[in-house]
Amino acid sequence: MAADVRDYTALEGGLASAVERFGRLDILVNSAAGNFLAPAAGLSANGFKAVIDIDLNGTFNACRAAFAHLSARGGSILSITATQAWVPTPLQCHAGAAKAGIAKLTQDLALEWGASNIRVNALAPGPIAGTEGMRRLAPIDASDRGQFERALPLKRWGTVDEIADAALFLVSPAASFITGTTLVVDGGQALIGSGAHARPHAILVGASGMRILAGGGMVCPTPRPDTPPDTMNVIKSGVEISSGSTYSRGTMMRLPAKL
């Protein structure tokens, strides 16, 4: 079954149908998310709200809709979140606020629902190779990837299997005395902050938008001929952001025309 996590009634009905078909609900995994790169000064209220609605409100909706089913026999809730919850990250104020809310929600639900034999935990992945999140939010080429990996304490990106193993642990009997916890699986990235690759050395907001200079990147004084007139150019290891597109060394990611 499929449902929009922003629609509580749809979630409630979907979960009821699943329980009717399979007989019980043991585990809920909250993994729906929406994200895009956007400077706070250029982010609309609707853009901010869209991420909160999917990530934070969607997580609560699913938890609340599952409560009656999980409390019948006991069970486990796992929310997939991100280290932006506590690591300040450029262009991610909307996602950071949503993830911070999920971390607090995880603790509060664990406190309230422990008596119903429901464990509530969260998992915060770091840079994971081969994932849509890395392709969209950290679009770097092979030469930059090596520099990024060397900056991490464990000197490499994680794998999808490592996240799956961590998730399985948290919902399994092996974690039966763990609740209200966010397990960070990021190779130590959160220990060094958002890192040299992601932390801008300079952020300049002007009439034409936002310029980001990161890791020794160079700012072009005028846009290239093939970019929209409202796009600022940041080359080398920087990023370009306009109201329509994000570029990184030739890689383009489309964003909504109006966030």
Q: For residues 180 and 248, which has the higher predicted lDDT (pLDDT)?
A: 180
Poorest-pLDDT segment among 5-9, 178-182, 211-215: 211-215
Report pLDDT digits (tens) over 117-165. 999 999 999 888 878 777 776 666 666 777 778 888 889 888 999 999 9
Task: Specify the pLDDT at position 258.
Answer: 40
Q: CA-CA distance, 128 to 243, in Å (whole number)?
A: 27
pLDDT digits (tens, 9 = 90+) for 21-53: 999 999 999 999 999 989 999 999 999 999 999
Q: Which two tokens stand for residue 196?
A: 């040299």
139 or 245, higher pLDDT? 139
CA dihedral 25, 29, 32, 36 (to 10 degrees): 170
Cα dihedral 33, 98, 172, 24 sign: negative
Residue 247 has pLDDT above 70, yes or no: no
Across all residues in the chain, what is the average pLDDT?
78
Does pLDDT of 200 surpass 60? no
Cα separation, 245 vs 207, in Å, equals: 17
The burial class, CB within 10 Å (0-12 / 13-18 / 19+), for 105 is buried
- Among candidates 50, 199, 183, which has minimal Cα distance to 126? 183
pLDDT at 218 over 50: no
Q: How many Cβ atoms are within 10 Å of 197's Cβ, its own excluded?
A: 18
Span(s) in the chain for CATH 3.40.50.720: 8-194
What is residue 127's predicted lDDT score, i.e. its pLDDT? Answer: 87
The CATH T-level fold of domain 8-194 is: Rossmann fold (3.40.50)
Taking residues 183-196, report their average pLDDT.
Answer: 82
When pLDDT is averaged across residues 184-211 and rounded to a whole number, the result is: 58
pLDDT tens figures, 83-112: 999 999 899 999 999 999 999 999 999 999
pLDDT of res. 133? 75
pLDDT at 248 over 60: no
Cα–Cα distance, 174 to 119 (Å, whole number): 12
- Who's near 149: CB < 8 A, 6+ residues apart? 155, 156, 157
Q: What was the pLDDT predicted at 123?
A: 98
